[in-house]
Each structure stands twice: as C-alpha cells, then as structure tokens.
Structure 1
Amino acid sequence: MATLFPFNSRTVVAVILVFFGFSSEFGLLNQVSALGINYGQVANDLPSPEQVLRLLSSLRITKTRIYDTNPRVLAAFAGSGIDLIVTTPNEAVAGLADPARALQWVSTNIIPFIPATRITGISVGNEVFTSDDETLMANLVPAMVSLQQALVRHGLDSSIHVSTANSLAVLSNSYPPSLGSFRPELAMVIEPLLRFLSDTGAPFWINAYPYFAYKDDPQRVPLEYAIFGSGSVMVDPNTGLHYDNMLYAQVDAVVFAIARFGYEEIEVRVSETGWPSRGRG
C-alpha cells in the first residue's frame, strides 16, 4: 500500500509513483512490487539533484520518474541503485518517429549515463491521448517503435522499457471496474499502443488520481474511500470483487479496458498518483 510522505514546501519532489503488479487474468491487484517518487523540477528554489538523491535514499525509495532527461539528474543518480524512468517531451514526439533521430536521441540522452545510472524506462510523452493533438497522437506509436529499434541497436531493449504515461481520462467508463472501457474515439490509436506493449513486454502506465474523482463528486465519493481510509468498501456487482480504496478500483478499470482489446498479459503500473498538500488543487 502506498504511503504519502510529508515534505515541506521546499523539498517537495512530486507525487507518489507506485509500481503495482496488476494482472488482467483475474482483474485485480496481485502484488505491490515497489514504491517510488515522481521527481518534478518545475518550481522555484529547488534542492539540487544531489540533495534530492539523499532525501530519496533516506526514504529507501528505489524507483523515480523524471519528466525529461536532465543530465544533472542522470549524472547525480549514478551509482545510487535507484531505477529511473526518463521522459521525452510531447513536442519531441513527432521528430522521434524518424528512426535516425530516435537513434541520435538514445545516443545522446541514454548511452552516456548507463550502466552507472539505472535507466529502466522511457516514457514517450505524457498524457498524449488526452491532449486533443491529433498529430501528436498519430506520431506516438511510431516514435515508440523508433526508440525501441534504437535500444535494440544498442542492446538495451531487454533492460529499458518504452511506454507512455496516460491520463485516466482515456477511459469512457471506470465504474464499476469490470465495465472499464476506453473512449471509443481513441480505439484507433489505443490498439496500436497495446499491440506494441504486448510485443515488447512493456507496461501500460496510468496517471490515476482518486483526488480528482472526490473533488468532482464529494457527495457520492466517500473521502475515506479516496484516501485509503478504513471502513469504506465498494463491491463490483459483476465480479464480486471488493475494493477498499478508489486507486485499486481505478487501475482495475484500466485492466478490464485493456482486456477488452484482447491483451490480457499487459501489466498496468501507476505512473502518477497523489494528493495535494496545499493550494486550491
């Protein structure tokens, strides 16, 4: 179960990154494999990468996601043993559909830092399918294919996964979880993504925030259910599965949505989740 660590305003790194093992064979959580942190860098007066590393190490964090390929961060994490997921910005996706440019990107942003820095994943863009940018969506899987080919050229395809982080808004329905389904208008772009993930053994990453569901409908969404509290349980009437928190239910909805496309072997991992600590949310 994820724990939200209390950071003060200067040392906030980002939201929790949770690596759950979700199996679509039964449509339920089967194990919690690791816990990590999303390390965001869009803020003022940020601690240095070296300070962040010390903080994460003190919390025994073993996995981190960054939203770029900042060479200072990649160099600072060398020898730390922490697994890193790096990100290509959305604006770079179209260019990376060109195999030559994808090979150059890997040669520049990945090769100089491994194996000292444990880069284990590349997120190609972020929440692309809810961007309303049809060109970006059309180029996503070709860019993933090109980056995968570049990793194969360097013999890194077995150690670095290529995937993309998706908003939960890719679903048209998430309740009950057994009726989870993707938005119909995304079917033509979701299916090639799922085929790629199935072919390469990469996970489906989802940014799942129970907070937003509670914020949008606080009268019908119990707060305890949204924040892993005790005593609040939802039962899926179609499967009989019991969910004692919304996060598990949200991710299971994704599991069922993927299974509807026939890709039951794809693992679902939470790439972002969390709760605001201050501000208006």
Structure 2
Amino acid sequence: MSSNASNAMSWVKDNVQKFMPGICGVAIGNEVLGGSDVELYGALLGAAKNIHSALSQLGLSDAVQVSTAHSQNVFSNSYPPSSCVFRENIAQYMKPLLQFFWEAGSPFCLNAYPFLDYMNDPASIDINYALFQKTKGIFDPKTELHYDNMLDAQIDAAYAALEDAGFNKMEVIVTETGWASKGDGNEAAATPENARTYNFNLRKRLAKKKGTPRRPKNVVKAYVFATFNENLKPGPTSERNFGLFKPDGSIAYDVGYKGLKTSSADSIVLSLKVNTYLPFSRFASLHSPY
C-alpha cells in the first residue's frame, strides 16, 4: 500500500466503497510504531497517504477517516499522566504521521488496557483503580488533577504526549480496551468476574458522556476488545479470552447482552446504546502497511 497507489485504490474499492455507508474509518495497521517489525515503521505514512488519496478520489474522504492504532509502547514516562511523551526512537516516524493525520482531520487512536498495566505491576496498582471500582485513585502533582480510574489516566497520558509533540487539539479515541476472562497460572486477574466488572463499568463510564480530567469537554469514545474470543490466537491464554462471546456465538460472561445462535455469530453488530460508543463493525482494518 505504501509503494503502490493502485494497490491502495483496489483495496479501498473492495473493502470500503462496497460497504458504504457502513464504514466510518480505515485503520492502517495495528500497533506498528513501537512494535517489533521496524521495517514497517517507514511504510506506515506512505500507506496512510495512499489510502487517504484513494478515498478522496472516490469521494469518500469526508465520511471515512484514516488513522492507525497505537499501543502504549509508543510512550515513555507515562506516570503520572502529565509526564508522558513519545519515545525518542519513534519520533522521526510519529511526528510526520501526526502532521498528516492532523491535516486530514483524523484522531489519535490508542489501544489502552488497564488489564495489561495491572498485570505488569499488581503489587503497586490497586485493582479497583483498573476496574473502575471505588478507590482513592491517583493525584498528578503537575496538573493537580485527580484520577479515579486508570483508563482516564491512560487517555490523558496520550493527550500529554500529543501536546508535547505540538498537537494540542488532536482527539484521542480508544480503539481497543477490554479485560481477559481467563488466563494462565500467572494471570490471576484474568477472571470472568473481573472481565464482567471492567466492561460493565466501562459501559457506565461511557454513558456519562463526559471527558477526562485533562480534557473534560472531549467526550470519551471507545471500542471494546473484543466481540469474540479468538480461540486460535497464539500466546498466553489471556490472548484468546478477551471476547464478550465465545467463537460459537454463545455468551462468555454477562454484561447485558444475550447469547447468539451460531448461525448469526458472523453478522453480530454490538452497540452499547450510548452515543459515545462506536459500533464494532464500522472500521475497516488494513493489517499491514504493505
């Protein structure tokens, strides 16, 4: 996609144009910057430009945003939130990418997982803080802001990094967040009870239609990861158990949705029935910039 505009045009026709008006955005890759495949870093911007150009030529660029989802690995010094900046080794790729997205009117897409942060340091992090439960939270001495849940802090850390890079007005959207319902022996927090608590409380948090302490007027928007458990995914057991539903369409744990029959599992579209929640099916995903 980065080196051949014709490939980008063909992809957009096949994966976006055919499904309009059902798509609101295209994600160019997933967690490319900060990932292990450094060769992809340099291809990301060119792919985004070619996809956006194809959308423009087809008259779709006003309806379909182009962005890419970032993991928290693109940040350094993210605690407290106000200290967060982008890692120096990706700055040469990140800043031109942000400039292009800013000009295109695209958001900064963040995959934010309190589950992963808690698993990395359970001795220091209150699990109630990660699960939107009652807790004393944290205080950011630089901004004098209080955080009663970790997701808000992760979002505001991204805003701080964007401000440091010169993009004060770019919106942050959470493109993945969730909690594993099952894990290995060293993943004790991955339980159905915790997964249910996290996603149920996330629903309540989004329903408030409010922003974060740093950006109170920017209503939080989020995608839940994931609709289904990915039973063939490699890695720790938790990686296969982030779904609200099992692969056959039956419910994994109850956050207010009914189980599905297997025949309808492929066509599920979930909405949390609040304006701040983005339906699962509306982003086309281009998994590799190549």
After TM superposition, the score normalised by the length of structure 2 is: 0.62
Matched, 1:112 2:18: yes
After TM superposition, the score normalised by the length of structure 1 is: 0.64
What residue in structure 1 maps to residue 35 of structure 2? Answer: 131
Q: Is contact 1:97–1:140 with CA below 8 Å preserved after alignment?
A: no
What residue in structure 1 maps to residue 231 of structure 2? Answer: none
Offset, 1:100: 1.4
CA distance in 1, matches of 2:118, 2:55: 41
Deviations 1:59-112 (A, max 9, x none): xxxxxxxxxxxxxxxxxxxxxxxxxxxxxxxxxxxx344211111111111112
Q: Which runs of 4+ in 1 moved over 6 A?
A: none
Partner of 1:220, secondary structure, is: coil
What residue in structure 2 maps to residue 257 of structure 1? Answer: 161
Identify which of 223, 229, 233 aligns with 2:137. Answer: 233
What residue in structure 2 maps to residue 101 of structure 1? Answer: 7
Q: Is contact 1:127–1:166 with CA below 8 Å preserved after alignment?
A: yes
CA distance in 2, matches of 1:105, 1:238: 46
Identify which of 163, 172, 175 aligns with 2:79. Answer: 175
Deviations 1:128-161 (A, max 9, x none): 0122222211000110000000000011111100
Q: Is contact 2:28–2:47 with CA below 8 Å preserved after alignment?
A: yes
**Map of 1:184-223 to 2, 5 A cutoff?**
184-223=88-127
Report percent identity of matched pairs.
42
Q: Is contact 1:144–1:163 with CA below 8 Å preserved after alignment?
A: yes
Of Structure 1 and Structure 2, which has the larger fraction of its residues in strand?
A: 1
Q: Is contact 2:28–2:48 with CA below 8 Å preserved after alignment?
A: yes
Unaligned runs of 5+ in 2: 185-237, 239-290
CA distance in 1, matches of 2:80, 2:47: 34
Amino acid at match of 2:150: M
Q: Is contact 2:55–2:61 with CA below 8 Å preserved after alignment?
A: yes
Offset, 1:231: 2.5
CA distance in 1, matches of 2:2, 2:89: 25
Unaligned runs of 5+ in 1: 1-94
CA distance in 2, matches of 1:132, 1:191: 19
Q: Is contact 2:34–2:90 with CA below 8 Å preserved after alignment?
A: no
Identify which of 48, 54, 68 aligns with 1:144. Answer: 48
What residue in structure 1 maps to residue 172 of structure 2? Answer: 268
Q: Is contact 1:97–1:144 with CA below 8 Å preserved after alignment?
A: no
CA distance in 1, matches of 2:152, 2:65: 23
CA distance in 1, matches of 2:91, 2:139: 28
CA distance 1:134–1:231, shift in 2 (3 Å)? closer
CA distance in 1, matches of 2:112, 2:101: 19
What residue in structure 1 maps to residue 280 of structure 2? Answer: none
Amino acid at match of 1:246: M
Q: Is contact 1:232–1:245 with CA below 8 Å preserved after alignment?
A: no
Offset, 1:266: 0.7
Partner of 2:165, secondary structure, is: coil
Amino acid at match of 2:54: A
